[in-house]
Amino acid sequence: MRISGFSFARNAVKLDYPLGEALRSILPVVDELVVAVAPGDPGDDTRGVVEALDDPRVRIVDAVWDESRRQEVYADLTNVALDACTGDWCLYIQADEALHEDDLPTLRARCEELLDDHRVEGLVFDYLHFFGDYRHIQDGHGWYQREIRVIRRGIGVRSVRDAQSFRHPDQRRITVAPAHVRVFHYGWVRHPRFMQAKVKEFWSHRRSREEVEAEYGGVEEFDYGPLGRLPTWTGSHPAVMAERIASMDWSDRLRLKDPPGMVRTQRHKDERLKNRLLTAVERATGVDFNHRNHGKVLRV
């Protein structure tokens, strides 16, 4: 059995993505690692980050960044990497995610165990969404709890929309099994200056330039809000993240609560009344009302 790792990247250095850490987190469990790299802005050396892995299993595939595709360009690049994979299973990692080394034996064992069960088209992973720093997490409604990160090669499954998930070409959801593996998602953890740039970049592919400038233009730093509203993580992080976590330099820009009289114009998803109510219902009933990209879950 062979596992192909795959990913894509562009402007990872400029926007402070932990790309190197993400790729190193899956290297111990893959037989090859394919990364589609698209040219970024002047001065960005995303390709250099991938080359620095200096591992014969790593293969860079040149990709084209087509602005006219808007947010679907992320899926396009993902599929460029996927098409170059040769393994039985394909393990996807995005530039702001990492797997914990403690979970890798479980992942390898699950792939071995389910290799001949062709009902299983993919594996779903459990998500930890860190927010603001490496202690606080988002676990309420509006933050997906599970997502597909392993797919069976050769059945026509494609990355869709903004590359969050995978479906059949006719948009049918794929049948999955639990991986029993965690994804540590750091997409909302970086210096507020880089976070603001990342948010602006995100929306630039989904809204008009005028709308993006009206909401984000002139704002230099992202406001994470009062982090005291969020639960805290007391477990360990993937070892590959140790140096990045130790170098965190924006603690002075974070706060646990708003000062008296402070009025914030923007509320985050977890602060909105609808999401707070749905979170309460989900926790009371155990029913997840979040949108699901996967199909039937086989308890195998």
User: What are the φ/ψ torsions at residue 60 (nearest 5 degrees)?
Assistant: -95, 130
Question: Where residue 278 falls among pLDDT bands split at 50, 70, 90?
Answer: very high
Closest CA to 58 of 22, 99, 30: 30
**CATH number for position 144:** 3.90.550
The per-residue pLDDT for 211 is 81
Separation between Cα atoms, residue 172 and residue 157, nearest integer Å: 9
The per-residue pLDDT for 71 is 87
Span 240-250, mean pLDDT?
Answer: 98
Query: Is a pLDDT exceeding 80 seen at residue 205?
Result: no
Separation between Cα atoms, residue 128 and residue 134, nearest integer Å: 11
Span 73-97, mean pLDDT?
Answer: 98
The per-residue pLDDT for 265 is 77
Task: Give 254 or 205, the one with higher predicted confidence.
Answer: 254
The per-residue pLDDT for 202 is 84
The per-residue pLDDT for 204 is 83
The per-residue pLDDT for 34 is 98
* Enclosing H/E stretch for 195: helix 192-204
Separation between Cα atoms, residue 105 and residue 236, nearest integer Å: 17
Separation between Cα atoms, residue 299 and residue 83, nearest integer Å: 29
Give the pLDDT confidence of 102-159 residue by residue, as tens digits.
999 999 999 999 999 999 999 999 999 999 999 999 999 999 999 999 999 999 999 9
Separation between Cα atoms, residue 73 and residue 75, nearest integer Å: 5
Query: Is a pLDDT exceeding 80 seen at residue 80?
Result: yes
HSE at residue 298, side-chain half, CA atoms within 13 A, is: 13
Query: Is a pLDDT exceeding 90 seen at residue 289?
Result: no
User: What are the φ/ψ torsions at residue 68 (nearest 5 degrees)?
Assistant: -65, -20
Four-point Cα dihedral 271, 293, 150, 17, nearest 10: -40
Closest CA to 31 of 12, 55, 53: 55
User: What are the φ/ψ torsions at residue 49 (nearest 5 degrees)?
Assistant: -60, -40
The per-residue pLDDT for 209 is 76
Per-position b or e across 1-28, b if 16+ CB within 10 A of its CB:
eebbbbbbbbbbbbbbbbbbbbbbbbbe
State both tokens at 189: 């953890």
Q: Which domain holds residue 253?
A: 1-300
State both tokens at 269: 């998803």
Give the pLDDT confidence of 206-232 residue by residue, as tens digits.
887 788 777 777 788 999 999 999 999
Separation between Cα atoms, residue 91 and residue 255, nearest integer Å: 36
Q: What is the DSSP letter of 251?
A: G
Strands 3-9 and 97-99: unpaired
125 dihedral zone (left: phi>0; alpha: psi -120 to 50; beta): beta
Task: Write down the mean pLDDT value for the chain.
Answer: 95
Domain count along the chain: 1
The per-residue pLDDT for 20 is 98
Query: Is a pLDDT exceeding 90 seen at residue 284?
Result: yes
The per-residue pLDDT for 217 is 75
In terms of Cβ atoms closer than 10 Å to its own Cβ (0-12, 13-18, 19+), residue 266 is exposed
Question: Where residue 66 falls among pLDDT bands split at 50, 70, 90?
Answer: very high
The per-residue pLDDT for 208 is 79
Query: Is a pLDDT exceeding 90 seen at residue 238?
Result: yes
Query: Is a pLDDT exceeding 90 seen at residue 266?
Result: no
The share of the chain scoring above pLDDT 70, in percent, equals 100
Give the pLDDT confidence of 4-49 residue by residue, as tens digits.
999 999 999 999 999 999 999 999 999 999 999 999 999 999 999 9
